Amino acid sequence: MKQPIRVLALTLYPDQFSSRIRIGFFKEPLRDLGVEMEISPPISREQFDREYLGDRQERFHYHLTELRNRTKQLHLAQKYDILWIQKGLALFPWRTLGLCKTLFANRVVVDIDDDVVDSPPVDVRGWRRILGTSMQMTQAIGSADWVLAGSKELADSLAKLNPRVEVFPSTIPLLRVSRSNNPRGVESGPTLIWIGTASNRKYLNLIGPSLSRLSEKIPGLSLRVISDGLAGID
C-alpha cells in the first residue's frame, strides 16, 4: 500500500483568516489525494489573544513561547516529507529557527501569502541582532524547494531570489460560505469589506477621513470589518 505524503504546515498565527484560506481549506481535499497535513501554529489562540497586543513583558513572553514551540515543531519536521511555511517561522526571526529548518526539514515550501515579506514582523535592531536576523525569510525563500505567492506581481519580485516560484492565488471555497439575506434591503448601497489582523487595524484610521468623504458621495455606503476584534479602530 502506498504511503501517504506527510506535510507539516507551520502558520505564523493561530487560526487566522489568512491561514484558513491558504492552508486550512485544503486539508480535506489533500487528504482525498493521499496527502496528510498537520497544521501547527506557533502559539495557542488563547495566548495570542492575551499577549499579542499586550505590554512589553507579555510580548516578551509571547516571543519566548513562540521560540520554544517552533523549535519543537521544526525538530519534528524530519518525520514529514514536506515542511510548509506560511508567512514566516515566527514574529521574531530567531537565528536558531533558521538553523533548525536547515538541519531537520526535508523539502521546504514557503508560502508568502499576499504579503511582501522582505523584513520580519518585529524589527531587529541593536542588541537584538545577536538573537535574530532580518534576513531569515529572504534566506528561507532563496533556499526553498518551492515558493508560493498570492499574485503574479509578488511572484515576479521573488523570482530573483528563487526561480522556483509559482502563483497560488488566495481563494474562498464558496460551498463553505453561507449567504444570508441583506437586512438593509435591495435598495441599500455598496459594502466595502476590509480583512486584516490586529497589527494592521491601525491603517483603517489612516483612511477613515477618505471613507467619510466617500460615504457623503455614495448613499448607503457601509464598511464591514473582518478581524480578530475591533481594538485600535477609532
Q: What string of H, E and C letters represents the secondary structure of 78-144? A: HHCCEEEEECCCCCCCEHHHHHHHHHHCCEEEEECCCCCCCCCCCCCCHHHHHCECCCHHHHHHHHC
Q: What is the value of pTM for the model shown? A: 0.75
Across the strands, what pairs with 8? 38, 83
Total count of residues recorded for the chain: 234
Q: Tell me: the pLDDT tens digits for 184-230?
A: 554 567 888 887 766 677 778 888 899 889 989 888 888 888 776 66
Q: Which three cell numbers stand for residue 38?
A: 498537520
User: 22-77 pLDDT, tens per residue?
Assistant: 888 889 989 999 999 999 999 998 888 888 777 888 888 999 999 999 999 999 99
- What letter would DSSP give residue 200? G
Task: Give the β-pairing of 107-111 and 82-86.
Answer: parallel
Domains present along the chain, CATH in parentheses: 5-174 (3.40.50.2000), 180-226 (no CATH)
Which grid coordinates belong to 177?
460560505
CB atoms within 10 A of CB 91: 20
Q: What is the DSSP string of 8-74?
A: EEEESSSS-HHHHHHTGGGHHHHHHTTEEEEEE-SS-HHHHHHHTTS-HHHHHHHHHHHHHHHHHHH
